[in-house]
Structure 1
Amino acid sequence: MPDFFATCPRGLEKLLADELISFGATDVRISAGGISFAGDWPTCYRVNLQSRLASRILWRVKDATYFRDEQDVYKAVYDLPWTKWFDVSCTILVKVTAIKCPLKSLEFITLKIKDAVCDKFRAEKDARPSVAKLDPDMRIHAFFEGEKFTLYLDTSGDALYKRGVRIHTNIAPLRENLAAGILKMTGWKPGIPLLDPMCGSGTFLIEAAQISLNIQPGIARNFAFEKLKNFDARTWNAMRESAIAAQLPVSELPIYGSDLYGDALKAAHQNLEEAGIRETVDLKQCNALEVSPPEKEGVLVANLPYGERMGDEDELAELYPQLGDVLKKRFGGWSAYLFTADLRIAKLMRLTPSRRTPLYNGAIECRLFEYKIVAGSNRPK
């Protein structure tokens, strides 16, 4: 049975492990930034199609130890049956990452791995695959740690947080799988009112609407595994057709979004429209400090402005206490979840968070702050 590694944003590993188990994965092992698991190829297809939390699903094809230099790596890569895995017409791209690696140049070892794959094709097929830096058919990942290295073939292609939905975006978008993980952490479920008062291009809103309508995150895109020679088209087509049949009809949902900026709201409108779910979300232009709760109880979630989204630290320092006052005065009975890289919020909000969860948005260290607002009181629970 093949071994796989599912990468994810740091902080979502436990949630991803649970998700993989629900898809039928076995031998699930948690590590920093991802999950190792075993499964048959239909499980690989299912995870790519249905995972809301994973970034990539990598097929582990080699574990090895190199002893002297880059030539040992070359030989280990050359010995693999590349021509049995994909056709010479497929373009390739090699990516190398390393921790405490004694090799002098990662660029050189990347070149050696590429040469090994191409030389193997030339020896067996009298032709070699081309390298494509943009949109390659096959991505080959090599991970070095000490004197060991692991080689993977990427079954996903484009990262899984690229749902094939959002085209229009604001300056600092939230990755879709991180947004899905945050929604999971809030305890929100379909049917519970959801409000994003700083919705930007609508990432939280789109994820919530697709979850509510049982639209699988990978239903609108293609995957690299479709170009592997062992690809089972019949099984895959049946899986996709079953997923499409299980979707719920598009209808109005208790999902609400607003933003101060018209350009951001226009992007959210366009993204929802192109996803075919525009009527599911109630959108309006509004300052977050003037927003009112759309229902008596619910979940408020927001990716607060920071970094390039709003560069002036003094402006942010003024925003946080005002936002805290809005939550206290208007949102009794709601649970608020604020995601930010600006850790000053803990003091400036003048509210005591009931939970602080470390998360990463790409390489940016962030926190998800939870506030339980008690109805009829200015104090958090």
Structure 2
Amino acid sequence: MAADPARMEIFLVATPGLEDPLADEARACGFDAQVQPGGVTFTGGWPDVWRANLEIRGATRVLARIGAFRAMHPAQLDKRARRFPWADWLRPDVPIRIEATSRKSRIYHAGAIIQRFQAAISETLGAPIAEDAQVTLKIRIEDDLCTISLDSSGESLHKRGHKQAVGKAPMRETMAAMFLRQCGFDGDEPVLDPMCGSGTFPIEAAEIAAGLKPGRMRHFAFEQFAHFDDAAWQAMRAAPAIPPAPASLRFFGRDRDAGAIRMSQENAIRAGLADWTRFEPGSISDLTRPEGPPGLVIINPPYGARIGNKGPLFGLHAAMGEVLRNQFGGWRVGIVTSDGQLARATGLPFREPGPYIAHGGLKIRLYLTGPL
């Protein structure tokens, strides 16, 4: 009924559509990862849960599956929830929040499931139940199988800890990391974002190049679980110093909005990457290629549904394509957009676009060229 803490199923929640690059990243981190609907699973113990939160860039959160049992009717759910060894996983002094979903099951009312688990935990463990608790217990009943998971992350993992300022329609760090991976970026080449907003792509690329762990600046819910080994965790998260920036700068952001450039610079300073990045005001029309070897231009341009009217955007995309074709021979271009017509308006030789990805109520895709 309860999982073995040394051999739990660990589930990395993916942004829908980005399961495959997340699995690739997890395997590159040494986890035996398999793609499942909505994410990626592997087996491990608490140190693997900690390391996944600390090191994996593309996961939205990390769930630890701590137990499962069959329940056909509410009385069975009551009884088994009360028999579950909550003290092995949760602390009596730490508030918890409970979420529930049910599919294809005889027990189908989420509110009733939550009430039963709240009663069981209050009466057997004594932990307070609170809507704003940092520790979340997730109950899923599917085909009458009740699976109990702990959200080990707390706040969504795109919150790296350095971004206080964001612009309109920001790109989440977790998504930016997966788009960079889909573009073949491995840290060795220059990256330029000519519409950088709050600087997400250049900062994420610089972090990868510098070998920095994405979770190094934040706290996680697992620090409040029962039997948490703080000394082992502190040893794991002990961060090496940020290496000195290479002699030639490789990570560039531009934006015509001076406020966006200021935001990007502040975010890079908080991330410890001010020396690794350069952010400058400027429009697409006066964009020039940086000195040095070719690399990747990656852009999340405005796409109409997001920021106002579409008409002028065709002209913007055509101008962008012309500048990139004229100035950026040898560079690859990746454009993230919800509108294939806008991507094609650039006149750039895109390959088959990537899968649809859910982003703020829209479906976006990556359009990528080979070297121009």
On whether the aligned pair clears a TM of 0.5, the verdict is yes
Secondary structure, aligned partner of 1:189: coil
Aligned to 1:186: 183
Q: Is the 8 A contact 1:205 1:255 kept in 2?
A: yes
Q: Once the 2 structures are TM-superposed, how far is the Cα of residue 89 of structure 1 from its aligned partner?
A: 1.5
Which has the higher mean CA deviation after the structures are superposed, 44-53 or 58-67?
A: 58-67
Q: Once the 2 structures are TM-superposed, how far is the Cα of residue 65 of structure 1 from its aligned partner?
A: 3.0
- Whole-Å Cα distance in 2 between the matches of residues 320 and 139 of structure 1? 44
Aligned to 2:350: 353
Aligned to 2:4: none
**Mapping of residues 74-223 of structure 1, within 5 Å:** 74-100=78-104, 103=107, 105-121=109-125, 127-133=126-132, 136-223=133-220
Q: Is the 8 A contact 2:91 2:127 kept in 1?
A: no
CA deviation map 1:201-223 (0-9, x unaligned):
01111111111111111111111
Structure 2's unaligned 5+ residue stretches are 1-6
Q: Is the 8 A contact 2:12 2:62 kept in 1?
A: yes
Aligned CA distance change for structure 1 residues 44 and 170 (closer, same or farther; 3 Å): same
- Whole-Å Cα distance in 1 between the matches of residues 156 and 82 of structure 2? 27
Aligned to 1:124: none
Secondary structure, aligned partner of 1:57: strand
Q: Is the 8 A contact 1:171 1:308 kept in 2?
A: no
**Mapping of residues 24-35 of structure 1, within 5 Å:** 24-26=30-32, 28-35=33-40
- Whole-Å Cα distance in 2 between the matches of residues 25 and 303 of structure 1? 31
- Whole-Å Cα distance in 1 between the matches of residues 208 and 344 of structure 2? 34
Matching residue within 33, 36, 45 for 1:40: 45
Secondary structure, aligned partner of 1:151: strand
Aligned CA distance change for structure 1 residues 199 and 101 (closer, same or farther; 3 Å): farther
Aligned to 1:278: 274
- Whole-Å Cα distance in 2 between the matches of residues 98 and 357 of structure 1? 32
Alignment partner of 1:294 is 2:290:
yes
Q: Once the 2 structures are TM-superposed, how far is the Cα of residue 366 of structure 1 from its aligned partner?
A: 0.9
Alignment partner of 1:63 is 2:68:
yes
Aligned to 2:309: 312
Aligned CA distance change for structure 1 residues 40 and 290 (closer, same or farther; 3 Å): same
Secondary structure, aligned partner of 1:86: coil
CA deviation map 1:258-293 (0-9, x unaligned):
011122112111111222211211111111233111
CA RMSD for the aligned pairs?
A: 2.2
Aligned CA distance change for structure 1 residues 86 and 257 (closer, same or farther; 3 Å): same
Q: Is the 8 A contact 2:87 2:226 kept in 1?
A: no
CA deviation map 1:133-173 (0-9, x unaligned):
2xx23111122334333210111121211111111001211
Output the TM-score relative to the length of structure 1.
0.88
Secondary structure, aligned partner of 1:96: strand
Matching residue within 49, 57, 79 for 2:54: 49
Aligned CA distance change for structure 1 residues 240 and 24 (closer, same or farther; 3 Å): same
Which has the higher mean CA deviation after the structures are superposed, 321-330 or 162-171?
A: 321-330
Aligned CA distance change for structure 1 residues 141 and 351 (closer, same or farther; 3 Å): same
CA deviation map 1:299-347 (0-9, x unaligned):
0001121356521111223322222222222222110000012232244
Matching residue within 360, 368, 371 for 1:370: 368
CA deviation map 1:232-283 (0-9, x unaligned):
2222122122xx1264234563111001112211211111122221121111
Percent identity of equivalent pairs: 32
- Whole-Å Cα distance in 2 between the matches of residues 145 and 312 of structure 1? 43
Secondary structure, aligned partner of 1:355: coil
- Whole-Å Cα distance in 1 between the matches of residues 260 and 49 of structure 2? 36
